[in-house]
């Protein structure tokens, strides 16, 4: 295949291959396609962005980029927190947002086939109409797309009981690094037809292929959840409650931690009348039906109390409980309003949650950095959010130091630094610190095998 080194011509090739309205070259518009929400990660203005409507259009874009050896950067809603969708100079961004159809729901076989641009909550609402449920629920579920969730193997609130995105993706349609449009995986309950290329694509952040269709398995809609809320005077005490819940043998359907910085930021924005009485709030949920669920909610309450909750109760008010969970989902955008955020995504063993929360607090104090905490605490998946005042470069420098100390602490405790947000640009050093050189070589070998021209979102992940 001839390489055309005049990069300008890829835009001409795209213009020839696609309806005119698919192509964006106006810099004022392009800038909105140039980065995700990882505002600390570098990005550049791309050559062009395209908004394809079909898999064949995506294929045409990839083929043009192969012909011109131009990097392709796929993106969904741009809610990513690791810079995985950030454009590089001379790249073409492929925004899948317009491919937003739910194509099929099979209630008997319990799967749905969707385009990548479907918003997570929209899929959830759609399948609920068939009595079915798509569990993975990243906090960004009102905005993020299934394609982005697949690219990052997104987690979420109920993943502590129900698993992450990869656990639900059974089939994919993908444009490969060789410009082929292929189907991977299955539509049946089981199938081991060769290597698990489907699972390999999930979490590969567009570096091994561009997903044009997703088949997800579904579960039956579940019974309403019970909510158990607890207030704690310290993050360490809340962490001890998390360990106590695990030690009691419970499997909560959610166990979220939100600290007062987050609650205050949400309240300042949305005026929800949230409490300022607690340093930290734990929000637990139980979805076991019947009397067994009542017992589990009481056991969770006992675990909260044993860890020193200043107040704890099983909520009898569904609206109040939903408001608390809404506040938790709004914590990230609420804090973003106050200044640049550097987001951690560490996951430590459940036994290490109290110690890790203590370390995070100490690191924040040592470097004079405001660290707000939200966490999928039941998973040990902590999201300390390092907040700095706008324009304060010294604070940014201190935050960078704290960021790397938190990563080192998580690894020291037997954890990972990439819980659920992907690696992108922001966690590349963390990945390299976490896996051995031989495993990094395996990554490079797989990447070279499936992206022989090196055009699929190069420079991300590793």
Give, as ranges, the residues between 329 and 348 that touch a copy of itself (CB under 8 A). 347-348
**Gap between the Cα atoms of 61 and 175, Å rounded:** 10
Q: Does 225 bind a copy of itself (CB under 8 A)?
A: no
Strand partners, 256: 283
Q: Which stretch binds a copy of itself (CB under 8 A): 4-12, 322-330, 388-396, 411-419?
A: 411-419
Binding to a copy of itself, residues 236-265 (CB under 8 A) = 243, 246-247, 249, 251
| β partners of residue 281 | 231, 258
The yes or no reply on residue 306 touching a copy of itself (CB under 8 A) is: no
Residue list 143-182, contact with a copy of itself (CB under 8 A): 152-153, 155, 159-160, 164, 166-167, 176, 178, 180, 182
Among 62, 66, 202, 374, binds a copy of itself (CB under 8 A): 202
> Judged by CB, which is closer to a copy of itself: 256, or 379?
379
**Shortest Cβ 388–a copy of itself spacing (Å):** 26
Q: Based on CB atoms, which residue is closest to a copy of itself, 112 or 184?
A: 184
Helix (H, G, I), strand (E, B) or coil at 49: strand
Q: Give which of 101, 105, 201 is closest to 149, Cα–Cα.
A: 201
Cβ-contact 309, 284 below 8 angstroms? no
CA-based nearest residue to 425, from 454, 459, 381, 384: 459
Please report, in angstroms and rounded to a whole number, the separation of the first and last CA atoms in the chain.
Answer: 27
Name which of residues 428 to 457 contact a copy of itself (CB under 8 A).
431, 434-436, 438-439, 441-443, 445-446, 448-450, 452
Interaction mask 106-125, a copy of itself, x per CB under 8 A: x-xx----------------
The full length of the chain comes to 462
Cβ of 364: how many Cβ atoms within 10 Å?
A: 22
Structure tokens at 266: 């949400």
Q: Report if residue 312 touches a copy of itself, rule: CB under 8 A.
A: no
**48/356 with CB nearer a copy of itself:** 356
Question: Could you tell me the smallest distance in angstroms from the CB atom of residue 143 to a copy of itself?
Answer: 20
Distance CA 263, CA 329 (A): 11
Q: Could you tell me the smallest distance in angstroms from the CB atom of residue 454 to a copy of itself?
A: 14
Task: Name the helix (H) or strand (E) containing 107.
Answer: none
Q: Report the alpha-carbon distance of residue 94 to residue 63 in Å, rounded.
A: 13
């Amino acid at each position: 295949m001839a390489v055309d080194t005049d990069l300008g011509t890829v835009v001409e090739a795209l213009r020839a291959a696609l309806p005119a309205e698919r192509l964006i070259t106006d810099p004022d518009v392009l800038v909105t396609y140039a980065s995700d929400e990882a505002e600390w990660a570098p990005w550049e203005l791309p050559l062009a962005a395209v908004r394809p409507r079909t898999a064949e259009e995506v294929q045409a874009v990839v083929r043009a980029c192969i012909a011109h050896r131009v990097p392709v950067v796929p993106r969904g809603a741009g809610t990513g927190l690791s810079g995985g969708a950030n454009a590089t100079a001379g790249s073409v961004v492929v925004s899948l947002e317009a491919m937003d159809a739910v194509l099929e729901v099979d209630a008997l076989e319990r799967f749905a086939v969707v385009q990548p641009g479907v918003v997570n909550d929209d899929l959830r609402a759609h399948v609920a109409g068939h009595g079915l449920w798509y569990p993975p629920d990243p906090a960004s579920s009102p905005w993020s797309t299934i394609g982005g969730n697949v690219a990052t193997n997104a987690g979420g609130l109920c993943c502590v009981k129900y698993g992450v995105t990869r656990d639900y993706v059974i089939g994919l349609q993908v444009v490969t690094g060789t410009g082929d449009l292929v189907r991977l995986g299955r539509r049946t309950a089981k199938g081991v037809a060769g290597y698990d290329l489907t699972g390999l694509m999930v979490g590969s952040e567009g570096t091994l292929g561009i997903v044009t269709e997703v088949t997800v398995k579904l579960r039956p809609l579940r019974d309403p959840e019970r909510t158990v809320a607890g207030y704690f005077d310290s993050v360490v005490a809340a962490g001890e409650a998390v360990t106590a819940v695990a030690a009691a043998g419970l499997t909560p359907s959610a166990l979220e931690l939100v600290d007062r910085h987050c609650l205050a930021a949400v309240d300042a924005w949305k005026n929800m009348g949230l409490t300022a009485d607690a340093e930290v709030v734990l929000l637990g949920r139980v979805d076991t039906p019947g009397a067994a669920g009542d017992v589990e909610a009481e056991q969770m309450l006992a675990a909260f109390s044993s860890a020193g909750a200043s107040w704890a109760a099983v909520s009898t008010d569904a609206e109040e409980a939903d408001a608390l969970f809404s506040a938790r989902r709004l914590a990230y955008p609420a804090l973003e309003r106050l200044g640049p955020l550097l987001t951690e995504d560490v996951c430590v063993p459940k036994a290490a949650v109290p110690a890790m929360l203590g370390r995070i607090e100490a690191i924040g104090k040592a470097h004079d950095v405001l660290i707000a905490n939200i966490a999928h605490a039941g998973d040990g998946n902590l999201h300390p959010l390092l907040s700095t005042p706008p324009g304060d470069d010294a604070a940014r420098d201190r935050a960078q130091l704290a960021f790397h100390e938190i990563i080192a602490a998580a690894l020291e405790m037997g954890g990972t630094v990439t819980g659920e947000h992907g690696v992108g640009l922001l966690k590349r050093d963390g990945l390299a610190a976490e896996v051995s050189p031989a495993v990094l070589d395996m990554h490079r070998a797989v990447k070279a095998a499936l992206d022989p021209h090196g055009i699929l979102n190069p420079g991300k992940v590793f």
